[in-house]
Amino acid sequence: MSPSRRTLTILAVVMFAALCAFPQARSGRDIWRDIKRALTASDGEEFFTKMKDALVPGIVPYWEGSFISGTFGERSTVMLGMTDPETPEVRLVIRSKVKTPPKRGDLIQFEGVARSYSREPFMLTIYATRVIGLDTEGR
């Protein structure tokens, strides 16, 4: 199976699983809470294998997080709070230079590919494919 076809297949499986497992989820925030709950459960590793390398959030246009901190260069990394603006939960890797670093608490909208996670302390690493709320070069 080609990488793009594999990615689409994985995305379809994740979207179907999320819709079946979390039918009450309507917003990006609801979906985030449900996915975080699944990742922090005792079988979180198994759940992550289903979403690894898939585009997330997938079933809503984007997720939104509060900027907490970041490192900026040719490839930037920002830490985002999803549940609250103080607790980092997402490490967003951006493959372009950020021209103007955001201020703490600024909202950043994104979608990307889930690459890794840790349950304790919780952290989901996503390679951004689309970012709104950051001034970047070349994207």
pTM of the model: 0.80
Question: Over the stretch 93-122, which tens digit does the pLDDT of each residue have?
Answer: 999 999 999 999 999 999 999 999 999 999
Question: Over the stretch 51-67, which tens digit does the pLDDT of each residue have?
Answer: 999 998 877 889 999 99
Mapping DSSP onto H, E and C, the string for the chain reads CCHHHHHHHHHHHHHHHHHHHCCCCCCHHHHHHHHHHHHHCCCHHHHHHHHCCCEECCCCCCEEEEEEEEECCCCEEEEEECCCCCCCCEEEEECCCEEECCCCCCEEEEEEEEEEEECCCCEEEEEEEEEECCEECCC
Q: Please report which confidence band the pLDDT of residue 25 belongs to, taking 50, 70 and 90 as the band edges.
A: very low
Q: Whole domain around residue 131: which residue ranges?
A: 3-136
Give the domain CATH number at 42.
2.40.50.140
Structural domains in the chain (count): 1
pLDDT at 28: 84
